[in-house]
Every structure is written in structure tokens, then in C-alpha cells.
Amino acid sequence: RNLISQETFKFHFKNLHYAKDRKDTFLCYEVTRKDCDSPVSLHHGVFKNKDNIHAEICFLYWFHDKVLKVLSPREEFKITWYMSWSPCFECAEQVVRFLATHHNLSLDIFISRLYNILDPKTQQNLCRLVQEGAQVAAMDLYEFKKCWKKFVDNGGRRFRPWKRLLTNFRYQDSKLQEIL
């Protein structure tokens, strides 16, 4: 399993208003069949920026090259992302195009922090993601716990929320709702 360390998770996923020195984006993903009563994870793991390619694009390349070829186009699949940063405008545009050409896929994106939210192009492309059917939301305590349990080498330890996690969630959520 592709896991991240506890320190990496706490540093990169901390939902601060201003996240200084956090330049990498981590994307924890899960792919499930949509029609199952109790969805079973078909694929899950973690991507991060690599060689100036953002984590979202790394996922799309991997998904197209390794996964899409073995999935039935007649079945529906759900992709869930837990991201340390929301997509930049270029990545959001790529994801919009991907969703537009793969109607059997749905995408839920949970973000810890909003990236470059004052940029009108970023705002516009976050809205385009939602218009194309993606669900975009700020990570709350439930998502942080789920991410910790599934994607962090946690040594059996329970997730311990950092100070101001809920206050910071409310801030991120309200800014996202303003944009959407």
C-alpha cells in the first residue's frame, strides 16, 4: 500500500489559512464501483507533485494508462480525492476535460486548503469542475479521520485533530461556497 508518514500528513494536510512552505500537493485517491451497495476499493493510493507535474495530472496519467484499460466502459465508477490543496486553474481545466470524456466516472474532491483563491481563473475552473459533475468540498473532521485511517502509516494510532481544525474547516468551507 502506498502510505504517507504521519509527519507528512500533519504538515501538508493541516488546513491553515496561510500554509507557508507547503508547496507540494498530496492527492490520496480511491476508486470504487458505483453500483455496489457496500463499495469495495478497487484502487487506492497517494500521488504528489513529481518533476513539476501536479498530483492531479499524475493521477490522470496513471488512471488513463493503468486503470481505464481494465475497467468496463459500461460500468460506473466513483473516484474520491482527498487533497492537501485544491486544484490550480490548469489542473482543474484538465480534470474538467477528463470528466467530459468519461461519463461513466464521478469524482468527489475533498480539499484541505484552497489554492490561489483570489485568482479569477482558479475560481472559474473550480466552478467548471462542479458544472461537469464533480463534487468539491472542504475536508471536515470526518474526512481527515478517513484519510488518516486509509492513507497514513499511522501505526494503529487514532487521528488527533490539531488546534483550530474545525475553525479552519469553516473558513475553507465558507470561501469555497463563495466561489461556487
**Grid cell for residue 10:** 500533519
DSSP state string for 37-87: SS--EEEEEEEE-BTTB-HHHHHHHHIIIIITTTS-TTS-EEEEEEEEEPP
pTM score over 0.85: yes
Choose the catalytic residue: 56, 75, 90, 132: 56
Q: What average pLDDT values come out for the chain (180 residues) when binned by 10 residues?
A: 90 88 91 72 89 94 84 84 95 94 92 91 92 95 96 95 95 93
Domains of the chain, CATH where assigned: 6-179 (3.40.140.10)
Instruction: Give residue 37's pLDDT.
Output: 63
Looking up cell 481527515 gives 144
Residues in Cβ contact with 102 at an 8 Å cutoff, skipping those fewer than 6 apart: 68
Question: What does the alpha-carbon distance between residue 120 and residue 126 come to, in Å, rounded to a whole number?
Answer: 10
Q: Annotated catalytic, 143?
A: no
